[in-house]
Amino acid sequence: MVSRRYAVVVGGVLASIWLWLAFDRESIPARRIWYGPSNSKAGLISPSIDAFDFPPVDSEEMRAVCSSTKWNQSLVFTCDNNHGGIGHVRNSILNCVRYAIGAGGALVLPNIALRDEDDLGHDHGHAEKRHGPGRNGMEYMFDVNHFTDSLRVSCPDLLLIRHMEQTDSSRRRGLLPEHLFTNIPTSGLEHPEEWPIKLEAWIEEYMPSYPEKEPIIIDLEQSFLHYPAHSDGHKFAHTFGNILKFRPDVRRLATTTLNKLSEWYDIPLNVSEPIMKPSFMGAHLQTDNPFLEERHNSGVAYAHFPSQTAAYIEQAISAKIPLIYVASGNLPEIHKFGLQATASKMAITHKEDLLKDKDMDALERLRWDQRALVDYLVLLKAQDFAGVGHSSFSWQVVMTRHEGGDKGKGVLESDVWSDGLSTLYGVRSSYIESSECMWS
């Protein structure tokens, strides 16, 4: 094999190879970038390490909130209408847990409404078209044992119910909690502590008082950006989201992706660091889907390929990072981005570029939105990150990175927001206010 030092010298040859490999992604990555020799092989990722594993949450702040709650096990909440991308699903489930704790009710383990991949330009047969994609349990995205263990330790009075049948009852109704509040600003509920009082009044009005032996069951509708995450204190907010940890196979694939990136591009990585420096720039490429009719306002800033990729390349040049890891479900757009980046002497890579053989087989067995979880985890550890303000995925990555880094609050200039660790393009001030309701 040609040495990496020689590969740098013949960069022009590799650039030509890139033009061919851009459309032959089963081959090796198109370019390798020389970052200099590693001082110690201990800095490279071991394949046996799960870079994204962590123990169950043991939080005094959560126990304090739970111990102040008046509990009522005859009040049961379900949380089955969690749909959309990871940003929506994750925050919706966490809001369900927080509402259940606030009301002192039991919680049935949440379910996730599967996304119809036909809406994403894929065709998965007539059966799914007729009956819809259906629902799956939390294990579709998350580590269920970690979730239950964390709540058992940090909120022991919260009763978790594994499963509840979808039965009709006069004492069962659906509810979007925010509907009980008025005048909700973009920064979220002004007085979330009023939730149990408002809920009690709603139950008295809409739920019959009999039969008393039957529990009151409330099917919570999806709640996204309305619960102020820091209303229980910053320590609570910084801990609570950790009750959700991604499923083990996704974590393994993300770790392997970093391992392969380290190997191919000669970057010694310390995966124990929340932000790895030096490493790579992560970019969330969310452009118009060519398979669909346009559903969003075409005038949204940075909504399209040319503006996004130009901004991302400029950011990478400014940060002096010659490698960009791209997260996108649209491979042709990634390849197109790679050709564009070549002119700026940059390399583009992605999970389909790096994973091979059994790892690629494992990736391909995942559904479209499960594969996005691999990207999400890889982006968390990037030296720098670029995304778009109209994407909950980008915001979720930013919020988690923000907590893991040492930078101060972000600054919005024109329509570009940055906190020194991440940059979002096409940001409105209302987006920043809404982000206060996103769990990190």
Residues 320 and 422 in one domain: yes
Residues 192 and 210 in one domain: yes
Q: Give residue 375's pLDDT.
A: 98
CA 244 – CA 89 distance, rounded (Å): 11
Burial class for 202, CB neighbours closer than 10 Å (0-12, 13-18, 19+): middle
Cβ(438)–Cβ(399) below 8 Å: yes
Cβ(346)–Cβ(271) below 8 Å: no
Q: Give residue 405's pLDDT.
A: 56
What residues contact residue 9 under an 8 Å CB cut-off, 6+ apart?
Answer: none
Is residue 136 classed as helix, strand or coil in its secondary structure?
strand
Alpha carbon distances (Å) from 106 to 33, 74, 158, 164: 53, 8, 6, 12
Is residue 39 classed as helix, strand or coil in its secondary structure?
coil
Residues 184 and 139 in one domain: yes
Q: Which of 194, 220, 243 is the last residue of a domain?
A: 243
Cβ(294)–Cβ(288) below 8 Å: yes
CB crowding 412-434: b at 16 or more within 10 Å, else e: eeeebbbbebbbbbbbbeebbeb
Q: Which of 208, 243, 278 is the last residue of a domain?
A: 243
User: The domain spanning residue 139 has which CATH number?
Assistant: 3.40.50
Residues 191 and 263 in one domain: no
Residues 15 and 112 in one domain: no
Give me the tens of pLDDT residue by residue for the chain, a chain 440 residues long.
Answer: 333 333 333 344 333 333 333 333 333 233 333 333 333 333 444 455 899 999 999 999 999 999 999 999 899 999 999 999 999 999 999 999 999 999 999 999 999 998 766 544 443 333 333 334 688 999 999 999 999 999 999 999 999 999 988 788 899 999 999 999 998 999 999 999 999 999 999 999 999 988 888 999 999 999 889 999 999 999 999 999 999 999 999 999 999 999 999 999 999 998 888 999 999 999 999 986 543 334 444 457 798 999 999 999 999 999 999 999 999 999 999 999 999 999 999 999 999 999 999 999 999 999 989 999 999 999 999 999 999 999 999 999 999 998 755 555 789 999 999 999 999 999 999 999 999 999 99
Cβ(111)–Cβ(82) below 8 Å: yes
For the range 162-170, what are the long-range contacts, defined as Cβ-Cβ under 8 Å and sequence gap of 24 or more?
162/108, 162/109, 163/108, 163/109, 164/76, 164/78, 164/108, 164/217, 169/214, 169/217, 170/207, 170/208
Q: Give residue 341's pLDDT.
A: 95
Q: Give residue 73's pLDDT.
A: 85
* C-alpha of 231 from chain center: 22
Residues 48 and 66 in one domain: no
Cβ(224)–Cβ(322) below 8 Å: no
Residues 194 and 238 in one domain: yes
Residues 209 and 316 in one domain: no
Burial class for 302, CB neighbours closer than 10 Å (0-12, 13-18, 19+): buried
Residues 41 and 110 in one domain: no
Residues 125 and 229 in one domain: yes
Domain residue limits at 178: 60-243
Q: Give residue 119's pLDDT.
A: 47
Is residue 383 classed as helix, strand or coil in its secondary structure?
coil
Residues 174 and 276 in one domain: no
Q: Which of 190, 208, 243 is the last residue of a domain?
A: 243
Q: Give residue 133's pLDDT.
A: 63
Q: Give residue 48's pLDDT.
A: 56
Q: What is the number of other CB atoms lying within 10 angstroms of the CB of residue 397?
A: 27
Q: Give residue 33's pLDDT.
A: 39
- As for how many domains the chain has, the answer is 2
Residues 238 and 271 in one domain: no
Q: Give residue 8's pLDDT.
A: 34
